[in-house]
Amino acid sequence: MNQINLLALPLFKTTLTQICCLCVIALLQGCGKEILESDGLYVATTEDQIEIKLKRYRPSPDVDFKDTQPILLFPAFMMNMNGFLGHTPPERAKGYSKMVLPESLAEWAIDDPFVAADPMRYHSLAHYLWTQGYDVWLANFRGTGRGDFQSDRGGKYSNIDVLAAFDVPAAVDKVVEVTGQWPVIGGHSTGGMATYAYLQGVTIDAKIFMEEKYIPHMVSDPELVAERNANIPAYIGIDPAGEMPLSIMAYFMDISIFWNLINSPLFVNLDWLLGDILEPVFPIAVNAAITDLAFGTVGFFDDNWPSFINEDYNIFAVLHYWSTSKTNRYVEDYILRTSVSGGQLGILSQYADWGVHETIREGWNNGIENKDLSVSPDPSENDGYYNYKENMYKMTVPVVAVFSDFSSLVDTDDMVGVLFDGKTQHSLDYWFELPQSGHVDLAMNDDAPAGVYPPIGEWLKQLDLL
C-alpha cells in the first residue's frame, strides 16, 4: 500500500500544481487584468530620446523572474512582441476557452502546468526558453506594441537602420543594467536583421537625426564591433530578413509612381485598427476563415504553378508567407488580433529597395545628398551607402537560425549565403528549415513547439550558458 502511494505521489503533485495554476490564472483574468498586462514591464530610452518597452517574461506574477542567462528577442516588421508570447489575453479568455492541446505534445510541454492551463502558451517561444532555464526578454520596436507595452513612435523618419542604431542598443543596455549580463540576442525577420546589424557596430548621428530633416548615413564603429561581438554570447535568427525575393514583382515596383507612393514618413497604425476595430467586431471563426481563404488560395496557385511558365513570374510564391494549413485557428486569430502591429512606411521602402536592386544596404534616402530623392537609385561602386552584406564578416558570435520552407519574403538559400557564408565562421554556426512553414507562422504554427523550439534549445545547451 505504501509503495502504491509513493508511486502516485508525483502524479498527485503535478495535478495539484496544475489546479493551482488554473486558479491563479482564472483569478488574474477575472480581477487582475492590469497585473497580467503590465507584468515584467521595463522602459529603455534610446539615444534619440524615445522610450521603447521591454517585457521580462514569466508565466505568472506568482513566479520569480529567472536570475540566469538573459535572451533578448525582437519582433518582425508590422508585428510586436506578442509573436513570441503565445498566451490567452484576459479579454479573449472566453473566445479561446475551447482551444485544446494536440494529442501528441512536444516533450518539454508534457506536465507543464502553465501549458495545461492555457494551451496558447504551447505556441510561445518565450515560454519554451523560460522552461529551459533562461531569463527571457522581449522588446517592441518604436511605434509598436499594445497597451502598456506600446513603444513611443518617435519622429517622422524611421527605417531599419534606425531600429538597429537606436532601439536595439537601448534594449540591450537595459537588460545589462537590470541583470548584469549581456544577453543572447536575435529575433524574427526585421528583429533578426536589426540584431545582426547591431553586431556590425552600426551607428547614426543622433544629433542630426533628432533635427528631423533626414536620416544620416550609417557608420560602423570598430570599437562597438569588438565590444559587442566579445560580449554577446550568441545570436538567434527566425527567418532573419535580408534581400527580399520579389521575382516579377520587382519589375512592376521599380517605377517612379511606386517609389513616390511608398517613400513617405507615414506610420500605418494597425494596432488601432486591429486592437480597437477588429477586437470587438470580428469573431474567431471569421478571422480564421478569411485567413484560410486568402492564404489557402495563394498557396494553391503557388503549389500548382504551371511547369511551362518560368518560376520567376510566379507572383504567388512571393505572397505565400503564411502556412494556414499548419496553423491552429485560435493561433491564427491570436496573430491577427494580438501580434500584428503598426509600422513605418520607411521600413517597407527599404525592403522594396533590397528586393528590386538585390542588395542589403542602408535606406536609400539616408545622407544629406539623398534626402530629396524620390526614386530608389541603382547601386553603384562607391555610392556612399553602407552595405550590410559587405560588412557581415564583422559578426563573429555563434549563430543559430531557422528558416521557413516556403522561402517567401526571406529566401533560405539567399540568407544562408548572406549570413552564414558572410560572417566570420564559428564552429557552432547552425541553421535548419521547418517543413511546410511560412514566414509569418514560423514561430507559432502547429509544428513550431516540436520543430523549432527544441532545436534552438539543444543548440543553446552547447554554449553552456546556464
**Does residue 143 belong to any structural domain of this protein?**
yes
Cβ atoms 236, 456 nearer than 8 A? yes
Q: Please report which confidence band the pLDDT of residue 279 belongs to, taking 50, 70 and 90 as the band edges.
A: low
**Does residue 187 belong to any structural domain of this protein?**
yes
Q: Which of 452, 364, 353, 405 is nearest to 108 (CA)?
A: 452
Q: Which residue has better confidence, 358 or 6?
A: 358
Over residues 157-212, the pLDDT tens digits come to: 999 999 999 999 999 999 999 999 999 999 999 999 999 999 999 999 999 999 99
**Does residue 297 belong to any structural domain of this protein?**
no
**Does residue 362 belong to any structural domain of this protein?**
no
Task: Please report, for residues 108, 119, 263, the alpha-carbon distance to residue 122 in angstroms, rounded to integers and kept in the order given.
Answer: 10, 5, 40
**Does residue 180 belong to any structural domain of this protein?**
yes
Please give the tally of structural domains in the chain.
Answer: 1
pLDDT more than 90, % of the chain = 73
**Does residue 286 belong to any structural domain of this protein?**
no
Q: Output the domain CATH number for residue 95.
A: 3.40.50.1820
Distance of CA 70 to the CA centre of its chain: 17
Enter the pTM of the model.
0.90
Q: Which of 159, 78, 206, 194 is nearest to 363 (CA)?
A: 159
Domain that holds residue 71: 2-244+381-461
Q: Please report which confidence band the pLDDT of residue 260 belongs to, taking 50, 70 and 90 as the band edges.
A: confident
pLDDT more than 70, % of the chain = 91
What pLDDT, on the 0 to 100 scale, is given for residue 13?
37
Dist CA 83 CA 74 (whole Å): 10
What pLDDT, on the 0 to 100 scale, is given for residue 1?
36
Over residues 85-131, the pLDDT tens digits come to: 999 999 889 999 999 999 999 999 999 999 999 999 999 999 999 99
What average pLDDT does the segment 425-443 reach?
Answer: 97
What pLDDT, on the 0 to 100 scale, is given for residue 268?
87
Dist CA 240 CA 242 (whole Å): 7
**Does residue 331 belong to any structural domain of this protein?**
no
**Does residue 452 belong to any structural domain of this protein?**
yes
